Amino acid sequence: MRILGAILAGGRSSRFGSDKAAALMPDGRTLIAHAIASLQPHVEAVVICGRTGGLPDRPMPDMGPLGGLNAALHHAWKNGFEGVLTTGCDMPVYPAHLLDALVGDRAAIVDGQPLIGWWPASLAPVLDRHLADENSRSIRGWLGRIDGRLVDAPGLSLPNINRPEDLKRI
């Protein structure tokens, strides 16, 4: 199965106070570099969504995570990938066992970590229609509309960096 990895990186980092994707981890590498490295073993290729030099949000900027996901889905669909595995730029780890729990015939997200998900590429035109309507722009709202799955990950502690002090705790 051909899987595209997508790092959703178009957020404003308002709680962090600066570009958190560029924030340095204790080992001197950026958060986004860690996100890429953690996703790469599970996918054929990785794209960055919502940042300069990456895939622009679709259909326009400032659509939130769904704009980045839509860009990744269209890229996957056009390039023969069956689906997209997503993570946020602030998620420096992607446990290997999540792949088996997520990938399937329906979209899925990790409960409590909605940017970590699996999205069949065939959803690209469906997401276009969703974004054209007046509705929830949240990942959870979209997941509900397409009858996606929530994947429970008991005992899994995934770091999510929203503030500078979160980075210090890792």
Q: What is the mean pLDDT of each run of 10 residues along the chain (170 residues)?
A: 93 60 81 92 96 91 90 98 94 85 92 91 96 86 94 72 68
Q: Report the pLDDT value the prediction gives residue 164, as an integer from 0 to 100.
A: 66
Q: Which residues define the annotated binding site?
A: 8-10, 62, 90
Whole-Å CA distances, 77 to 53, 117, 124: 20, 17, 7
CATH number at residue 102: 3.90.550.10
Strand segments (E) across the chain:
3-8, 45-49, 83-88, 108-110, 113-120, 149-151
Q: Is the pTM higher than 0.95?
A: no
φ, ψ of residue 4 in degrees (nearest 5):
-95, 135
Residue-range definition of the domain harbouring residue 96: 3-169
- Over residues 46-85, the pLDDT tens digits come to 999 988 889 999 998 888 899 999 999 999 999 999 999 9
Q: Which residues define the annotated binding site for Mg(2+)?
A: 90
| Separation of alpha carbons 163 and 145, rounded Å | 31
Q: Report the pLDDT value the prediction gives residue 18, as an integer from 0 to 100.
A: 57
Q: Which residues define the annotated binding site for GTP?
A: 8-10, 62, 90
Q: How many domains does the chain have?
A: 1
